[in-house]
């Protein structure tokens, strides 16, 4: 049913919505009021714990002892925000925000909500020791909140389904685990980043907030109302899309009370919803001097990137608009938004979305759909939509459904198509799926045992497939897309090659062998592998650019060189019309790149010991031309977009040959 028709439907039946404290149906007794029994709570906790543990293992690549390692760029945003709030201001250092900063009155702000920063305040509000170390812990905690809130909503939905079965405690555990493992939430474990942390907290707080909203509606005590408003305020402070749902639900319940002419109660409830919204608005005003906008044109990236500037110009300066909805809806609800590949994990995102109509997007990344992101929940949500419209006689679940649907509309209006945004749809899918579980299980009770088992087996297989798809997306995204480390990408391709050798004969279909410095521009696709020369370099195309996987020492692009640096400038590497030299100063060693076209780049002094030094030197013209020097694991010089062809060690420097096992293995598969 279209959203406008659904809203009209709700308003036309608003007088039927059960008022606070009234009995919903005959089955709405103390047992089914929403409070989990001891056995149900135990199973729900076990299920949530299973989901959290798998999420943690995926986030750490199976090495949970690395949980508190320093994360990549953006994992200290909330740490810096927490510290700034403790010290009485909201701006954060420019070197922390970098391109994500928004310059307002000479100060740098970030556009992310303050909710996760509040959680960090006891630790990072007073010290920098924990900076970049808490993102995985924070995201795992949010996953646990989501799992438990889902189990509680399942229990609350039972009271509304006529003749619903009693239910088994393990049902609650399965749904708690499924909300983490069988939805796009699992994809967020691909990399600990502020973008993912904001999304998972927005989703978890939204589901938990909707749970508290209906708890208050059924048991309207002052404490329940305050808790519902507080969590609604927190939810929107985490993410202003999915996090809107609890505030909208509370506001709609207030409208219901107004229709019932309970004016004082209605005013108080609507005021509570407004308070939740005012927390976000006030914080936004203090940072950006705007009630709702984050001033996209003032973002550092917008000031530096021509493509972003063209996007904003084409869309009236705003990244939001209804002109994007046809394209985003077509992608996020596409029944074919998945692809298959020969390499493990055997799935990929498939073809990228194509804009519908003459519309300019900021970015279109490899993206799946909610059907493949949460297949079982999606099917249940369809059943739940029918039940909510046709059979929800109390209409209280209709309020939750409408609120959660309204909350993801801004996501459809955003001029970016990115897989992680599917998490904004999870609260609506969970809300609609909860009553469907009871509807389906009630119907299954009438079937014979073989039929029931067949349905449950199919459901388990589809749920497992959904989890495997999200796991595959997460693995490939971490290895090749989101700030990938060369060592992680190389290890992952090595593992893919190992499995492929066991399953198939011959070389992989997307593997090419090319001679020269130029990577191919035709006949390539996402996942293409290219070997240059005799394993001088192995590269992978991720759909946007080439990624280095391995370079063979003395292959022409990488050299392990040993020599000494004195006060007199001395070349270390040289090539066609360029040199890289070093000289020792009192402050340290200074490296200088010079080319015949007049370019000269000089490094800051680097403290290095006297005597012979060994460097891992890179001079690669094939990528975005790069020259770098690494000494004992530390990068001491790097430069890019320069001449780097025909590299060789300079006189006085010896080069140690080496191997490239992965590249050589792939090359052997081509030659054989």
Q: What is the pLDDT of residue 25?
A: 40
Statement: residue 443 has pLDDT above 60:
yes
pLDDT digit string, tens, across residues 321-349: 999 999 999 999 999 999 999 999 999 99
pLDDT digit string, tens, across residues 301-312: 998 999 999 999
Q: Where are the beta strands (DSSP E) in 117-262?
A: none
Looking at the DSSP bridge assignments, the partners of residue 202 are: none
Non-local (6+) Cβ contacts of 440 within 8 A are 380, 383
Non-local (6+) Cβ contacts of 539 within 8 A are 519, 529, 530, 532, 546, 547, 548, 549, 622, 623
Statement: residue 608 has pLDDT above 90:
yes
Statement: residue 8 has pLDDT above 50:
no
For 474-505, the DSSP string reads: HHHHHHHTSS--HHHHHHHHHHHHHHHHHH-S
Locate 418 and state its tokens: 């990115």
The closest of 43, 51, 243 to 147, measured between CA atoms, is 51
Non-local (6+) Cβ contacts of 668 within 8 A are none
Element holding 230 (H helix, E strand): helix 222-238
Question: What value does the mean pLDDT take over residues 524-540?
Answer: 92
Residues 144 and 52: beta-carbon distance below 8 Å: yes
Integer Cα distance of 6 and 17 in angstroms: 15
Task: Tell me the torsion sign for CA atoms 202, 207, 211, 216.
Answer: positive
Locate 469 and state its tokens: 């798809």
Non-local (6+) Cβ contacts of 515 within 8 A are 532, 533
Integer Cα distance of 83 and 96 in angstroms: 12
Question: What value does the mean pLDDT take over residues 198-227?
Answer: 97
Looking at the DSSP bridge assignments, the partners of residue 563 are: 613
Integer Cα distance of 256 and 631 in angstroms: 69
Residue 483's pLDDT band, with cuts at 50, 70 and 90, is: confident
pLDDT digit string, tens, across residues 122-151: 999 888 999 999 999 999 999 999 999 999
Mean pLDDT of the chain: 91
Q: What is the pLDDT of residue 659?
A: 94
Integer Cα distance of 650 and 624 in angstroms: 23
The C-alpha angle 530, 536, 541, rounded to 5 degrees, equals 25
Q: What is the pLDDT of residue 294?
A: 62
Q: What is the pLDDT of residue 641?
A: 73
Statement: residue 20 has pLDDT above 70:
no
For 65-81, the DSSP string reads: GGTTS---TTTTHHHHH
Statement: residue 24 has pLDDT above 50:
no
Q: What is the pLDDT of residue 12?
A: 46
Q: Ramachandran region of residue 489, left (φ > 0), alpha (ψ -120 to 50) or beta? A: alpha
Q: What is the pLDDT of residue 32?
A: 43
């Amino acid at each position: 049913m279209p959203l406008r028709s659904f809203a009209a439907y709700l308003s036309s039946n608003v007088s039927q919505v059960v008022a606070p404290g009234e009995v919903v149906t005959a089955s709405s007794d103390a047992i089914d009021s929403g409070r989990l029994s001891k056995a149900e709570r135990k199973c729900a906790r076990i299920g949530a714990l299973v989901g959290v543990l798998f999420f943690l293992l995926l986030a750490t690549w199976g090495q949970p002892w690395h949980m508190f390692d320093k994360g990549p760029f953006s994992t200290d945003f909330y740490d810096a925000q927490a510290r700034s709030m403790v010290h009485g201001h909201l701006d954060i250092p420019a070197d922390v925000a970098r391109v994500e900063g928004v310059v307002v009155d000479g100060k740098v702000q970030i556009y992310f909500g303050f909710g996760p920063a509040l959680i960090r305040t006891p630790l990072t509000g007073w010290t920098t020791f924990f900076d970049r170390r808490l993102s995985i812990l924070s995201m795992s905690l949010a996953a646990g909140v989501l799992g438990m809130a889902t189990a509680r909503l399942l229990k609350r939905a039972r009271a509304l389904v006529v003749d619903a079965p009693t239910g088994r405690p393990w049902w609650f555990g399965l749904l708690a685990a499924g909300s983490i493992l069988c939805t796009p939430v699992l994809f967020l474990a691909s990399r600990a980043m502020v973008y993912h942390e904001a999304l998972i907290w927005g989703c978890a707080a939204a589901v938990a907030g909707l749970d508290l909203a209906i708890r208050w509606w059924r048991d309207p005590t002052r404490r329940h109302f305050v808790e519902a408003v507080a969590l609604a305020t927190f939810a929107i402070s985490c993410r202003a899309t999915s996090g809107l749902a609890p505030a909208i639900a509370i506001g709609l319940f207030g409208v219901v009370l107004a229709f019932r002419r309970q004016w004082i109660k209605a005013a108080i409830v609507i005021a509570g919803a407004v308070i939740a919204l005012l927390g976000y608005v006030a914080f936004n005003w203090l940072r950006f001097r705007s009630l709702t906008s984050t001033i996209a044109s003032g973002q550092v990236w917008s000031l530096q990137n021509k493509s972003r500037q063209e996007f904003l110009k084409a869309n009236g300066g705003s990244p939001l608009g209804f002109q994007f909805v046809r394209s985003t809806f077509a992608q996020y609800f596409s029944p074919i938004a998945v692809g298959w590949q020969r390499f493990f994990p055997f799935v990929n995102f498939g073809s990228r979305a194509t804009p519908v109509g003459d519309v300019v997007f900021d970015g279109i990344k490899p993206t799946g759909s909610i059907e493949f992101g949460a297949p079982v929940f999606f099917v249940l949500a369809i059943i739940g939509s029918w039940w909510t419209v046709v059979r929800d006689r109390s209409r209280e679940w209709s309020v939750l459904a409408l609120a959660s649907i309204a909350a993801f509309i801004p996501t459809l209006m955003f001029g970016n198509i990115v897989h992680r945004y599917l998490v904004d749809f999870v609260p609506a899918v969970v809300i609609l799926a909860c009553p469907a579980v009871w509807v389906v299980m009630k119907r299954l009770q009438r079937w014979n045992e073989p039929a029931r088992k067949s349905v449950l087996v199919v459901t388990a297989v589809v749920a497992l497939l959904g989890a495997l798809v999200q796991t595959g997306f997460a693995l490939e995204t971490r290895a090749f897309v989101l700030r990938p480390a060369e060592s992680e990408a190389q290890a992952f391709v090595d593992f893919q090659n190992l499995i492929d050798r066991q399953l198939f004969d011959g070389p992989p279909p997307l593997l090419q062998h090319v001679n020269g410095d130029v990577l191919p521009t035709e006949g390539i696709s996402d996942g293409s592998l290219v070997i240059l020369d005799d394993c001088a370099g192995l590269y992978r195309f991720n759909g946007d650019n080439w990624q280095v996987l391995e370079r063979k020492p003395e292959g022409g692009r990488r050299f392990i060189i040993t020599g000494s640096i004195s006060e007199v400038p001395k070349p270390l590497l040289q090539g066609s019309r360029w040199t890289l030299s070093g000289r020792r100063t009192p402050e340290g060693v200074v490296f200088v790149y010079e080319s015949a076209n007049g370019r000269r780049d000089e490094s800051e002094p680097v403290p290095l010991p006297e005597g012979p030094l060994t460097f891992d030197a890179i001079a690669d013209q094939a990528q975005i031309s790069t020259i770098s020097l690494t000494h004992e694991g530390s990068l001491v010089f790097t430069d890019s977009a320069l001449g780097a062809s025909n590299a060789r060690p300079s006189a006085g420097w010896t080069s140690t040959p080496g191997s490239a096992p992965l590249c050589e293995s792939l090359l052997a598969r081509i030659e054989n």
